[in-house]
Structure 1
Amino acid sequence: MRYEQPTRLDGVGALLVAVLVTVTTGVPGLIAGTAVLIAWYTVPTLYTFAFGHLVVGALAENIATPYLVVLELGLLAILVGPALTLAASRWRAIVTSVVAIVFGGGVLALARGNGHLWSALGVVGLIFAIGSYGLHRYEHVALGLSENTYE
């Protein structure tokens, strides 16, 4: 079940994804868009976000690039909507949104520009690995598990 309350922003994002997938791909998009709306209303936000990306990824071959950008913005609204209800994390949601837009736009441009999906996947994998290592190091420092090397 969904833990957080639905907000207008993530509702608009889910509706935007459902409508655009339906308009751009027809009946398969209608089925997938309805599934995204049901997922948005019933399961937690991260699952809806991941499922929406599966839908967009499965149908992306038939969708023009401007529509893909708007679909990604709709999925970003689904992800950020519940976070904006918390006053303390509002700036984190804004920074995350900007980083996601820049990163997603770069990967989309790379995938559409040279036509090779492998190069875009390589960029995503590399950034994921660097980010994971950075979070791992931050966790070690925050928990005091690293020795002080500045003495």
Structure 2
Amino acid sequence: MKTIKIIFVITFALAGLTLSCESISNPDPINAIDSTQTATIQGTAYANMDETNDTTFSTKENYERAPQGTNVKVVLNSRDFASNIEPGVDYKSLTYETTVNSSGDYSIEVPALGDPIDAEIYFDSFKTSQTQVDSTEEQRNYSPQQFPYTVRISAGLSTFNDAIYNSN
């Protein structure tokens, strides 16, 4: 019994000695995003849901506003906010969401920097009826004309980006 106890103590002592020889390095601290520096992205989402009023070549005059509640997502690259880029680090996306209001407008405030950075804007697809030229109704799927929209943002500034939907 005494021999087992001695072997047990020696084993733990060696294990402790091995672990204490291991070098430990602390990674550089990760910068927090300055919440006082923001940019606003706003715009209107348009979709041709009534073909009977298509009398001009202007999207804003011919197209209707996307339905209230249509999701809008803004994605930023967290790497843009890092002061020291570390090789091998998997910089994640920062995602912010809002919805289109009853007027088809959206507005969202996101973190920004003094220098311009890119922001990707994703608009969700939706399904609704479309009034045809002969006044009949057809169910249509609407998807953004561009996917994603990319804009440059800077702290303290507003960026405007309208979205156009196509039906299929």
Say which one has the larger Rg: 2
Query: Which is bigger in relative contact order (C-alpha 8 A, separation at least 6)?
Result: 2
| TM-score for both structures, normalised by structure 2 | 0.24
Q: Which structure dedicates a bigger proportion of its chain to strand? A: 2
| TM-score for both structures, normalised by structure 1 | 0.26
